[in-house]
Amino acid sequence: MSDLNGKTALVTGGASGIGYATVELFARRGAKVALNHLPDDARGTQAVARLRADGLDVIAAPGDVSKPGAAEAMVRDAIEKLGRLDYLANNAGTPATSEPIAPPDLDRVTEEFWAKILSTNLLGPFRCTHAAAAALRAAQGAVCNTASVAGLNMPGSSMAYGASKAALISLTKNLARALAPQARVNAVAPGHVDTEWTRAWPAERKAAAIERTLLRRHCTAQDIAGAIVFLCADNTMITAQTLVVDGGYSL
């Protein structure tokens, strides 16, 4: 497919998982893509090299979206290298924990924990969208934020994570108001996705998640990437919406 020739995209958190799958799909459809990754994450440079070796037009965009100033500088540098910006996928996020934190365990939800969650999962997408707004308006482009069913009254890795994703869904609507009518802003809300974080779960926890899902399988990173690219590139009349992609997990 080459229907996105001449288009450009920036994907945050692109070194692995949903972000990597989104970079690859945009690029395979002909777009030039900036892959954002943490500056000290070797997976980012390896991912760019691997995709370029496959003939895809991908460049590196190192930067930490959780840090004010660094996020905006990364976006500006990426836009300069790309020449324009049609699509922004705000995918970078963190659970900030290797194990789920049950709601009664309030002592583990510290001020530092909240700060890390919110700075990455909520302020990161705002910083990047704010920095990209002029370019997106000029291109009549689109934004897609990676939210979660944890922001829609489903249990997540922690109450802080769920709150950050609920806030991101609200932010999506207000950014859609802010960038209209020139650009659109939507979100995807994945359910249980087979990623590096969930792969480390005990077998019984993963089995229970699959059993809860109507389609009886994990979501894959490619499932979510397909929804992100669809919302960005395949329909120009959808904005301010959050698309649940969970195989019926939240039902």
SS3 of residue 73 by DSSP: helix
Residue with tokens 């660094």: 70
Say how far apart CA 49 and CA 114 lie, in whole Å. Answer: 34
Distance separating alpha carbons of residues 118 and 164, to the nearest angstrom: 6
CB 179 within 8 A of CB 132: no
* Distances, alpha carbon 11 to alpha carbons 79, 104, 210, in Å: 12, 35, 28
Question: pTM for the complete prediction?
Answer: 0.96
Query: What was the pLDDT predicted at 2?
Result: 64
Query: What is the predicted pLDDT for the residue at 1?
Result: 54
Phi-psi region of 210 (alpha: psi -120 to 50; beta: other; left: phi over 0): alpha
CATH of 8-244, one of 3.20.20.70, 3.40.50.720, 3.40.50.2000, 3.40.190.80: 3.40.50.720
Q: What proportion of the chain, given as a percentage, has pLDDT over 90?
A: 88
Mean of the per-residue pLDDT values of the chain: 96
The candidate with the shortest Cα–Cα distance to 240, out of 152, 176, 180, 166, is 176
Condensed to tens digits (0 to 9), the pLDDT of residues 196-231 reads: 777 877 888 888 889 999 999 989 999 999 999 999
Catalytic residues, by residue number, are: 161
Locate the domains of the chain by residue range.
8-244
Instruction: Note whether 131 and 139 are within 8 A (CB).
Output: no
CB 124 within 8 A of CB 66: yes
105-151 residue pLDDT tens: 999 999 999 999 999 999 999 999 999 999 999 999 999 999 999 99
pLDDT digits (tens, 9 = 90+) for 146-169: 999 999 989 899 999 999 999 999
Whether residue 63 has pLDDT greater than 70: yes
